[in-house]
Amino acid sequence: MSYKVAVLPGDGIGPEVMDSALEVLARVEEKFGFKLELTKALIGGSAYDETGSPLPDATKKVCEEADAVLLGSIGGPKWDGLPPELTPELGGLLALRKMLKLYANLRPAVIYEELKAMSPLSEKVLSEKVDLLTVRELAHGIYFGEPKELTDDMGLDTMVYTKEQVQRIAKQGFEAAQRRGKKLCSVDKANVLSSSKLWRKVVTEMAADYPDVELSHMYVDNAAMQLMLNPLQFDVIVTSNLFGDILSDESAAICGSLGMLPSASLGEKISLFEPSGGSAPDIAGKGIANPIAQILSLAMMLEISFDLKDAASAIRNAVDGCVKSGIRTGDITDPGMTPVSTKEMTEAIISRI
């Protein structure tokens, strides 16, 4: 049986780094003897330019018929002035998340030993390797809550969580902790928000089912601070949509470059995989973007959606090998080092598989 993948390169550096990921895919297909059926489709600003919609019907169809979606990145200053429903962010990515009912966003933040100097945090704080995972609720909360309204003199968003929605994301958090370091920190604002009070109650009740996981709770303002002061205390963070959006960017920043971090968004049937970083319009088209986040997103897809664990580990090991050998794109080079291009990095990874 062959699996179908919707390939959505998107905007900015998306198409360049997607090409890299597809070359890596071809290499692991050959090595491990499988073949995915790929269908490319438009999304974001480039889709708007070509069709007038950031999520054209043809793209929806390709995604609905796929077993997984591999996405590049969307957005750029060119499309910032559009009405909200036509922007790459709201009309493209958020609409696709909603359509596929993507409810859990897994964002690992790992700092490579060799890249510690890239982190804005001091060596003192980074005495060990940062390796944390944010499990962000993606389908509900203030992003989607109703009523939602915007007039000339009033803007309204609604933060709402039901017990069932919290249970579903917390289960992902507990299970991720079981697979990893057995520590789960649930982040909320339960000293103020009703949705957070419910969140904390539900997560606390569930802890009895996961006796091997050590559960803690933290207010989001404190969590933002603790990530800076002592990121090593975290293993898995589970949190709501907006808090997860903010904290996952913060954890990514600790790692030095957004160009290294993949993400997975789990749906009921179809999951989506994309780099944690954005479309980097400032360097788009120059052939210098770091393709690692896209390539590691491919690895997450192979493992999570298709259970191709060997192929996924081969990709991760090849990436580790490149980082260890000092092969660096511009975002992760030290002064005095010569950065490699997107193409050179891709070839170096492929040669190690």
Site residues for ligand IPM per CB under 6 A = 89, 93-94, 245
Nearer to Mn ion, 245 or 331 (CB): 245
Which positions ≥6 away from 51 have C-beta within 8 Å?
A: 42, 58
- Binds 94, which of ligand IPM, Mn ion, none (CB < 5 to 8 A, cut-off by type)? ligand IPM
CB of 243 to Mn ion, least distance (A): 11
Phi, psi (rounded to 5 degrees) for 274: -155, 155
Nearer to ligand IPM, 188 or 245 (CB): 245
Nearer to ligand IPM, 196 or 263 (CB): 263
Q: Which residues pair with 183 in a beta bridge?
A: 214
- Of 12, 71, 106, the closest CA to residue 275 belongs to 71
- In this structure, which amino acid lies at residue 339? P
Decide if 256 contacts 226 (C-beta within 8 A): no
Q: Is 245 in the site for Mn ion (CB under 5 A)?
A: yes
- Strand 104-110 and strand 262-266: pairing? antiparallel
Q: In what order do the strands lie in the sheet with 68-73?
A: 37-40, 4-10, 68-73, 271-275, 262-266, 104-110, 131-137, 236-239, 183-188, 214-219
Written in H, E and C, the secondary structure of 99-138 is: HCCCCEEEEEEECCHHHHHHCCCCCCCCCCCCEEEEEEEC
Nearer to Mn ion, 245 or 274 (CB): 245
Q: Which residues pair with 264 in a beta bridge?
A: 106, 273
CB of 209 to ligand IPM, least distance (A): 29
CB of 106 to ligand IPM, least distance (A): 12
- Binds 16, which of Mn ion, ligand IPM, none (CB < 5 to 8 A, cut-off by type)? none
Phi, psi (rounded to 5 degrees) for 218: -145, 140
Which residues belong to the active site? 143, 189, 221, 245, 249
CB of 248 to Mn ion, least distance (A): 7
* Chain residue whose CB lies nearest ligand IPM: 89
Q: Is 274 in the site for Mn ion (CB under 5 A)?
A: no
- Binds 89, which of Mn ion, ligand IPM, none (CB < 5 to 8 A, cut-off by type)? ligand IPM
* Dihedral (CA of 14, 69, 311, 1) sign: negative
Q: Is 235 in the site for Mn ion (CB under 5 A)?
A: no
Nearer to ligand IPM, 249 or 320 (CB): 249
Decide if 22 contacts 346 (C-beta within 8 A): no
Instruction: Please identify, among the stretches 128-136, 165-173, 240-248, 329-337, the one whose residues bind Mn ion according to the rule CB under 5 A.
Output: 240-248
Nearer to ligand IPM, 130 or 261 (CB): 261
Which positions ≥6 away from 36 have C-beta within 8 Å?
A: 2, 3, 4, 5, 25, 29, 306
Q: How many distinct helices (H) and strands (E) make up the chain?
A: 11, 12
* Chain residue whose CB lies nearest Mn ion: 245
CB of 125 to Mn ion, least distance (A): 23
- Binds 118, which of Mn ion, ligand IPM, none (CB < 5 to 8 A, cut-off by type)? none
CB of 274 to ligand IPM, least distance (A): 8
**What residues line the site for Mn ion (CB under 5 A)?**
245
